Chain A
Amino acid sequence: MVQHVGDKQAEALFHLVDAVERATVLGNTTEQLANDGDSYVKTVAKRFMKNKLAVISLVVFVLLLLTAVFADSLSPHPRDASVGMFQAAPYDNFLLGTDDIGRDVLTRLIHGTQVSMIVGFGSVLIYVIIGTTLGLVSGYFGGIVDSLIMRLTEASMSFPFFMVILTLVSLLGSGIWVVTAVLGILSWPPLCRLVRGQVLTIKEQDFVLAAVATGYSTPAILVKHILPNVLSPILVNATFGIATAILTEASLSFLGVGVKKPRPSWGNILSEAQSLRVLTSEPWRWVPAGILIFIAVLAINFIGEGLREAIEGERKS
């Protein structure tokens, strides 16, 4: 029957495999298994890397981040200095032209990146801390604490978010740090709800119950056992959060209540296009800023989506 196997070999094959032998064979398999039994992070990273769009976006985003960090050395000119002709189209080493008072538009865009990244990361950091803490507490303890936090969450989530931010920022006196703080302090509710939901399912799982039974302190359980299991959704939420924060900051600055001039932000650079002259005859003053916001936000959204898919294991089709 096993024609392609030689008789002698065949004979050799038809013996019962003993425990030791099987262990060796199984050993091979376990090794094999170890390969796809990569650590969780590695698996997610691997899946993420398969998403071309997300990877390109990540590269774009890292470039923007580097631009923000090294803004001073990357800028061809000083940030607020009038160094060129006034309102000039791109010329010489003013690759994107100059504005009303001869400042280099490219330089200002580069520094605008800094603003976007500070507001993006800063506010997200703040709201992740608030949202995660409240979500953990709310989900884990339940009861009055939970319903109190949830009421607060619902109330603030249903409010016209941008209107409140706009009012607060303009009344508090705008500026990059005010924008960051207000955005951070007001953006936590969705994350809080997300974390709470996750905690509710996780806390019923065996390993948590075991930890409780073992007598671990509540903070220890929250931080060591529950937190690591909610990190992925937080990460995804935070990624999208950066995009939202960047957009919100740009909108506020566009309306003139965000980042205070003379500090350049993509939004306040774009706001100059509300002048018909700039809009129609000086496109270099506003189109690049708009495109930059768009690219940054799009890139972050793609990264977020890539992360989400990688974490949820959904096949990218």
Chain B
Amino acid sequence: MKKYIAKRLLTAIPVLLMISIAAFIMINLAPGDPTNLYVMPDATPEQMEATRRALGLDQSYPVQYMRWLTRALRGDLGISYSTRYPVLPILVSRIGPTVALMGTTLLVSYIIAIPLGIISARKQGTWVDTLLTGGAFIGVSIPNFFLGLGLIYIFAVQLKWFPTGGMLELGGNASILSVLHHLVLPVAVLSTFYIANMTRYVRSTMIDVYGENYIRTATAKGLTKQVILTRHGIRNALIPIITIIGTDLPRLVGGAIVTEQIFQWPGLGRLTILAINQREYPMLMAITLLSAVVVLLVNLLVDMMYAVVDPRIKYD
């Protein structure tokens, strides 16, 4: 297993390198000079040049890339064009809020969706199932920004139950309670999709699993429904569900862009928008790389989870 992990991590290196090159090319394809954003509108060419030099934009592209790469290997991901703060700590400071937001979302979603999916599958064809699948369809079809605006209007503006945005109260108490209070609306918006999606997925997976012969065997053994579900159904259903979780997890990085924007959540999604608007190239490079690393790690994690759940899978 260790050998396998090492191998996987090794093969990730060229992939990351390719991604960094692709991202570098993509970012530099953009028209317009980011320097313009960081000088006064009446800047002289000399001033422009000085800023370009300070931002490292005065070199040719290959030199810029190599410089970025050598620094990145030492853990220096460059500086923010606007504040001149190192990118890495900024990026790191945004991981917490995004993980809190997406982690809560996924946790809440799975806790709700998995039982719902199972119920829906077990009650296939009944009004409960119709209600749940219908709800799931609505959930995946409703645009999250529309839902977000609606919730802000109802719960923040009209009822004033929750704040319209942000994560913390400043100068007041910055307790977990306050963070949770701020989390409610964005999590509600995000989990609508995840719950709906996961419910549908769990339902169809459970229906598939329940169509499997070993469930028939278990039934023929005279086991109770409860035992069949917990000992035979869920564990086998977990295998495909892990795949879906594997595709959900990378969204930790940038999946909540729209929601973070609407709720002014100080996470990676909003940082991405900011970096795009501000043409913060090193920041964009760092975000891209971070998401690539997360994806590779999640894929590895998912593959290892398979091995935990499915005895047929062994990595040597």
Contacts and interface: CB of A to CB of B under 8 A. Distances in A.
Q: Are A and B in contact, CB atoms below 8 Å, in the complex?
A: yes
Contact of B250 (A160, A251, A254): A160
A40 interface: no
B284 interface: yes
Interface string A264-293: 000100110110100110000010011001
Q: Give the one of A157, A167, A257, A270 with max B CB within 10 A.
A: A167
A302 B137 contact: yes
Contacts of A301: 137, 140-141
A290 B292 CA distance: 33
A197 to B, nearest CB: 14
B316 to A, nearest CB: 20
Q: Is the interface of A mostly helix, strand, loop or mixed?
A: helix
Interface in B270-305: 272-273, 276-277, 284, 287-288, 291-292, 295, 298-299
Given A163-B272, A294-B142, A302-B137, A273 B149 contact: yes
B138 A160 contact: no
Given A155-B15, A273-B149, A302-B137, A317 B276 contact: no
Contact of A251 (B149, B152, B253, B258): B258
Interface in B107-147: 124-125, 129, 137-138, 140-146
Interface residues of A, number: 40
B302 to A, nearest CB: 10
Contact of A298 (B141, B146, B272): B141
A166 interface: yes
Interface in A51-67: none
Contact of A290 (B125, B149, B251): B149
Contacts of A276: 157
Contacts of B272: 163, 166-167
Interface stretch (A10-18, A118-126, A133-141, A168-176): A168-176
B137 A274 contact: no
Contacts, number: 113
Interface in B11-35: 15, 26-27, 29-31
Contacts of A294: 141-143, 146
A141 to B, nearest CB: 24
B87 interface: no
A162 B273 CA distance: 12
Contact of B143 (A166, A257, A293): A293
B145 A251 contact: yes
A73 interface: no
B261 interface: yes
Interface residues of B, number: 46
Contacts of B284: 167
A240 B53 CA distance: 48
B253 A172 contact: no
Nearest to A169: B276
B291 A163 contact: yes
A163 B26 CA distance: 13
| Max chain A C-beta neighbours (<10 A), residue from B15, B27, B247, B254 | B254
A185 to B, nearest CB: 12
A279 B146 CA distance: 11
A254 B250 CA distance: 23
A227 interface: no
B4 interface: no
A110 interface: no
B203 to A, nearest CB: 12
A199 interface: no
Contacts of B29: 171-172
A167 B291 CA distance: 13
B137 A305 contact: yes
Given A160-B255, A254-B143, A289-B146, 5 more contacts: A159-B291, A163-B291, A251-B144, A270-B143, A317-B124
Interface of B: 15, 26-27, 29-31, 124-125, 129, 137-138, 140-146, 149-150, 152-153, 157, 246-247, 250-251, 253-255, 257-258, 261-262, 272-273, 276-277, 284, 287-288, 291-292, 295, 298-299
8 contacts: A160-B251, A160-B254, A167-B26, A251-B143, A255-B258, A270-B143, A297-B141, A297-B142
